[in-house]
Structure 1
Amino acid sequence: MSGIVWLVGAGVGDIGLITMRALECISQADCIVYDRLVNKAILRYARKDAELIFVGKEPSAHQLTQEQINELLVAKAKSGLSVCRLKGGDPFIFGRGGEEAEALAEAGIPFEVVPGVSSYHAVPAYAGIPLTDRRYSSSVAIVTGYESSEAGNVRWEEIAHAVDTIVVLMVVGRIREVTERLMQGGLDSSTKAALIEQGTLPTQRTIVGTLATIADKAEYERVHPPAVLIVGKVVELCDKLAWFERKPLFGKRILIARDEDRGFEMARMLEAYGANAVCLPVLKIELLSNSQQMREAVVALSKGLYDWVVFTSVNGVKALFETLHSMGMDARAFSSTKVCAIGDATNSELRKMGIIADAVPEQFTTEAVAELLLNIGVHGKRILLPRAFGASRKLTNSLLEAGAEVHEVTAYKVLTNEELGEEEISIALSKPIDIVCFTSPSSVDALFKLVGEGLKATLRNARIACIGPVTAKRVEEYGLPVCIIASTHTTGGLIDAILSHFATTNASTPK
């Protein structure tokens, strides 16, 4: 039985611009065939068992020819697989999606086209350039700077006086020729032009000039693909309407040393403020769901033998509920038990599982939890405490001293991610880092273990931001100064501290 091919537009660089239908196809596909300009973070939404095939094309070097890609799609579908052909931008706008659809149709393979957000309108929007404006432009031409021999040469001289706004994709290598041809076609040399490199990403650069100067500026600024050229009066609005490059953390390269899942979440939060967030998954979380210890705790919980369950992390929640579900139980096992949670993330994870915490301390520390429970009264109470292997016993000891009976269970382990490749580490540390974020002492230990003493030299010009004083102390033990410490010990609190730091720094910097 034949499979199906989804020709999916992955949108431009900003992962937030991908469509819901595209995510559905990515998450369902047996095989994903993807291009160079696809944001690799999108592949996180693929199934764990999905086959990932890179067929990226550089301007002068192709991984596979277009004919080979067509044959690959047909072969995979004929073997019964659902295939997601993931293409940057929109598959039917200079994406050769039409050729691939034609090959599939001729082979009798069912296919679906999923339109994507194209760079021709997304990139100008991120630079503050509306393609149409009733005062300046009522018509737009979208042109490729790369001329295909099959389609014939672009008629630049005709385009020059046919529309108000001209958008040129794939233009970097031919920008001088393109601008000269437009001027030969009658466009005034003083016509405004903007070249936008790495559009929609935190590395975006907008270079503004005129038809006469933009090629020289591009050469001087060493602009590299991908870049989009906008020509027309609407470019005059760029300075007033630019919004993306004015975000508070725009262009700041922030390294997040954490486990992959939580690191990715934090990266997305920082990207909302314009940061160039780089997640280096130095930690690996191993949930100990279904261990004998965890199963016994769940049985006791279901029998109402605990007065309280205290969750100190998201991972503790995940491990306990995985065990609970595997044993055919759900949130009803907590019917006679109260729940305490540290932190917004832990509380949010509990809500996903149908549990609203009875107690959440204002300060997200074990000391605050102990104080809260002691004020409530825990003498003679039985408390279940799902913890990380090797976690501090401060909370346990405080509860024991107050007369509680504490049952600690090891719910998960926090390990150094030994599978992290040297190449991934090298790429993350190869460019200057503005800020390094540490969210636990274990993340500090893991980064130093994986990188070694050379890390001090690499981070000598970086600001170090820590989620709290305990983590900051560990950083200082390695001989590095800490610049930012969150007063609220959560991911959101750490990001707020970083924003506050730069707001103060920028305000005190002479203009």
Structure 2
Amino acid sequence: MLKPLGLKDKKVLVPRGAGQAKSFSQLVEKYGGISIEIPLIAFRPIEITEQLQSAMNQIHTYDWIVFTSNVTVETFFSFYKNINQKPFPKIAVIGRKTEEVLQEQGFKAAFVPSAYVTEVFTDEFLPIVPSGSKVLIPKGNLAREYISASLSNHGVLVDEIVIYETYMPDESREKLAKMLADDELDILMFTSPSTVNHFMSVVKEYKLENHIKRCVISCIGPVTEKRLLGYGLPVHVSPEEYTVKEMIKCTIQFLEK
């Protein structure tokens, strides 16, 4: 049983943008914490390319489409218009939130892995995709190529298309630098390797390494944890279930100990 005020008066870094931070911040505040929203990553759709337009026009020729994040789903459907009512491929997703956002678009996932991590997704997805199948993977400009490489090695025909780019807003850099310098953050929460990279770029630029030693560091997923460890940072909390809710729950348990 978690204490109702397990995060009482703790200032918690919420590394998401305005559109995504609300539910995260509400959970922090539910347990008495003070949410500090500083988007460490933001997303913007790319300009439509010939490759992207071609993939949209030929969507009915794919057996599967793979969505690895809710941002990928939202961006893809901002481009996609099924004017000719052509059949849509089967859909595979990673993550509960991705599945929820897909359902909001009126589509249902045919495959969801047992754990929301790329390696597990690939291990479980490969057996149901025969060699010669055609798979489309929309992605961000910084996305890993693990899934496409694994599928290609299995004889699957894979097309990857970049549909959005990831960046760090300038105002976030200034706000983060000031709050770290003033020791205004108690708990740092990271949701992806990109959030870690952007955070550390500010730490190094402003020479704030000593100011993060007092912070509790939590993260979601083994890839994010590995990135933190690669920078020489301790990881105090890394839950087995890769959700914000579980990260917050495990952080409270860590603090109670």
TM-score for both structures, normalised by structure 1:
0.47
Q: CA deviation at 1:431?
A: 4.2
CA distances 1:2-21 after superposition (whole Å, capped 9, x unpaired): xxxxxxxxxxxxxxxxxxxx
Partner of 1:145: none
Partner of 1:267: 25
- Among residues 23, 41, 46, which one is paired with 1:283 in the alignment? 41
Which runs of 5 or more structure 1 residues have no equivalent in the other structure?
A: 1-244, 506-511
Partner of 2:70: 314
What are the within-5 Å matches in structure 2 for residues 228-377 of structure 1?
246-288=4-46, 290-301=48-59, 304-325=60-81, 329=83, 333=86, 335-377=87-129
Q: Is the 8 A contact 1:254 1:435 kept in 2?
A: yes
- Code of the residue aligned with 2:7 in structure 1: it is L
Say what the alpha-carbon RMSD is for the aligned residues. Answer: 2.3
Q: Is the 8 A contact 1:282 1:417 kept in 2?
A: yes
Secondary structure at 2:249 match in 1 = helix
* In 1: Cα distance, 2:48 partner to 2:163 partner: 9
* In 2: Cα distance, 1:318 partner to 1:367 partner: 23
Partner of 2:250: 497
Q: CA deviation at 1:427?
A: 4.2
Partner of 2:217: 464
Structure with higher Rg: it is 1
- Among residues 200, 221, 239, which one is paired with 1:448 in the alignment? 200
Q: CA deviation at 1:442?
A: 1.1
- Code of the residue aligned with 1:401 in structure 2: it is N
Q: CA deviation at 1:336?
A: 4.4
Structure 1 residues 246 and 399, CA gap change in structure 2 (3 angstroms): closer
* Percent of aligned pairs sharing the same letter: 28
Q: CA deviation at 1:248?
A: 2.3
Secondary structure at 2:73 match in 1 = helix
Structure 1 residues 246 and 467, CA gap change in structure 2 (3 angstroms): closer
Q: Is the 8 A contact 1:486 1:497 kept in 2?
A: yes
Secondary structure at 2:151 match in 1 = helix
* In 1: Cα distance, 2:70 partner to 2:132 partner: 27
Structure 1 residues 424 and 502, CA gap change in structure 2 (3 angstroms): closer
Partner of 1:386: 138
CA distances 1:88-146 after superposition (whole Å, capped 9, x unpaired): xxxxxxxxxxxxxxxxxxxxxxxxxxxxxxxxxxxxxxxxxxxxxxxxxxxxxxxxxxx
Q: CA deviation at 1:420?
A: 3.1
Which runs of 5 or more structure 2 residues have no equivalent in the other structure?
A: none
Partner of 1:199: none
- Code of the residue aligned with 2:218 in structure 1: it is A
- Code of the residue aligned with 2:44 in structure 1: it is E
* In 2: Cα distance, 1:444 partner to 1:262 partner: 17
Q: CA deviation at 1:258?
A: 3.6
Partner of 2:170: 418
* In 2: Cα distance, 1:281 partner to 1:486 partner: 22
* In 2: Cα distance, 1:391 partner to 1:428 partner: 28
- Code of the residue aligned with 1:384 in structure 2: it is L
Q: Is the 8 A contact 1:260 1:284 kept in 2?
A: no
- Code of the residue aligned with 1:481 in structure 2: it is P
Q: Is the 8 A contact 2:16 2:38 kept in 1?
A: yes
Deviates more, 1:263-272 or 1:438-447: 263-272
Partner of 1:473: 226
Secondary structure at 1:247 match in 2 = coil
TM-score for both structures, normalised by structure 2:
0.89
Aligned length: 254
Q: Is the 8 A contact 1:263 1:280 kept in 2?
A: no
Structure 1 residues 442 and 423, CA gap change in structure 2 (3 angstroms): closer
Secondary structure at 1:410 match in 2 = strand
* In 2: Cα distance, 1:421 partner to 1:368 partner: 34
Partner of 1:436: 188
Q: CA deviation at 1:318?
A: 1.2
* In 1: Cα distance, 2:165 partner to 2:106 partner: 25
- Code of the residue aligned with 2:106 in structure 1: it is G
Q: Is the 8 A contact 2:45 2:75 kept in 1?
A: yes
Q: CA deviation at 1:428?
A: 6.4
Structure 1 residues 385 and 345, CA gap change in structure 2 (3 angstroms): same
Higher relative contact order (CA 8 A, sep 6+): 2
Secondary structure at 1:282 match in 2 = coil
Task: Find out whether 1:404 has 2:152 as its counterpart.
Answer: no
Q: CA deviation at 1:337?
A: 1.4
* In 2: Cα distance, 1:423 partner to 1:415 partner: 16
- Code of the residue aligned with 1:323 in structure 2: it is F
